[in-house]
Structure 1
């Protein structure tokens, strides 16, 4: 039952960060352990996507439902099928009134695998994995937006 929540200030606009996270199909280009992504359905308010994640000999596919709220710069991810008992994730991007061009990122993820062995493995790697994932999004933002 690893859970991670963090807030941080980033030097990008809410729109830039929202667009980056909402572009699920490009995750394999920059996100560690994301080997493939397939968009099953996409509308202005919803994405249904399959991701294949892998680390060493472990490889799993899961499907998630992504709710897009562009008016509020919010993205919510809910688990649909695959190796998890559950997966909940959100990204919220808030403009900082006193700092134009700055955004407060509110990131949250909570999940549990069905497989106890896989759960134990991820629990030992979880903090490092989340740090690497958030860092990968930051690096991608730098590459795209300077």
Structure 2
């Protein structure tokens, strides 16, 4: 069964700052609960491919995404490799002023089989659900 997660937040930071923070996925293990590793596989001018490693309560999963970059407005995410039948998402940043923006994040996914969904479903849903709040806290720490 396909799941959809949508989150949004109003922040006192620019679209450029928030885009840079999302694009700095290699720092995710420092502040995103459940993310234990991140590695860049390929980087070009307007896209990248990266692998994220998630772990919690003895359950480990990793997946590779292709991220299309449209700074500072958006980043589209699609699956390259991982335990999913389908996987797509997007970060959008809408300027409200020079130093404020609205952050929107959505993610749709379906695991490749019921066993994987049972084992890793809660872990992945928790990490995906907490991404926006963790990102906002990180922005407040970095951009004070």
The answer, yes or no, to whether TM exceeds 0.5 is yes
Determine the C-alpha separation between the residues in 1 that align with 2:58 and 2:133: 23
1:134 Cα shift?
1.7
Structure 1 gap ranges (5+): none
Structure 2 gap ranges (5+): none
Give the match's secondary structure for 2:140: helix
1:120 Cα shift?
4.1
4+ residue runs over 4 A deviation: none
Q: Tell me the residue number matched to 1:32.
A: 33
Q: Tell me the residue number matched to 1:60.
A: 61
1:12–1:101: 8 Å Cα contact kept in structure 2?
yes
Q: 1:125 to 1:37 in 2, by over 3 A?
A: closer
Alignment of 1:122-141 (within 5 A): 122=121, 126=125, 128-141=126-139
Q: Tell me the residue number matched to 2:74.
A: 74
Q: 1:124 to 1:20 in 2, by over 3 A?
A: closer
1:2–1:123: 8 Å Cα contact kept in structure 2?
no
**Equivalent residue pairs, number:** 142
2:92 equivalent to 1:92: yes
TM-score (norm 2): 0.88
1:124 Cα shift?
9.2
Give the aligned CA root-mean-square deviation in angstroms: 1.9
Q: 1:125 to 1:114 in 2, by over 3 A?
A: closer
TM-score (norm 1): 0.87
